[in-house]
Homo-oligomer: A and B are copies of this chain.
Amino acid sequence: MPDYALPDSVPPGSTAERILDAAEDLFAERGYSATSLGDVADRVGIRSPSLYNHFRNKEALYRAVMERLVMAFSGPITELRAGPITQDRVLEWLETIVRQHHANPNLARLLQHAALSGGPATGELIEQLFRPMFDSSRPFEDEPGPVLGDAGLQPWAVMAFNNLVMSYITMAPMYRDLLGQDPFSESALEQQLKLVKTLLQAVFEYRGHTMLS
């Protein structure tokens, strides 16, 4: 009975991994406190006390779920943060994030729950995922336009685009009927990518006054 389960200490197909899979889905859907270990166990096909052979308690399971998600997410992202900042690289970064969240929507959902209700390790989450986005607010190599060029506005723009991508995931169920297609289909992904990249392009090329003194 390990105190915690590092992602790589969990062999694929093992019970521990199946627990993580089930718990990830349930935590992402319902949040920390609304998820019961009984439901997790049911989904795995075992009894809830058996979970304790793999995780110390509910909180340890939750933290293991988050750690695995953050690991899988930040791998491809951190590579992109090295090197110069240009319009093309920011577009690339945006597309990567969109595709990542689309491939596994659970991180976005879990983050949203954490933002609304707190829960264990919320502070660590912020530091690991959001701090880097703001620390990399270095100046552009090429011309970013008045919005992203304004050092006071840039963090807000970073936040806005991140929110845009994440809320597409977390709000998707609300729009399913309205859009007339599954928001997680391939074609919806392409549509969302098109929109979000066009939006960023529009910001790059925008030369107007910034709307307010």
Contact = CB atoms under 8 A, between A and B. Distances in A.
The complex is assembled from copies of this chain, and their number is 2
A211 to B, nearest CB: 5
B194 A203 contact: no
Nearest to A147: B198
Interface in A105-141: 109, 111-118, 125-126, 130-131, 134
Interface of A: 28-31, 33-34, 109, 111-118, 125-126, 130-131, 134, 147, 153, 155-157, 159-160, 163-164, 166-168, 170-175, 177-179, 190-199, 201-203, 205-206, 208, 210-212
Given A115-B173, A201-B211, 16 more contacts: A29-B116, A31-B34, A34-B117, A112-B170, A115-B170, A115-B174, A126-B177, A126-B178, A155-B179, A156-B195, A160-B196, A163-B171, A167-B167, A167-B171, A194-B210, A202-B205
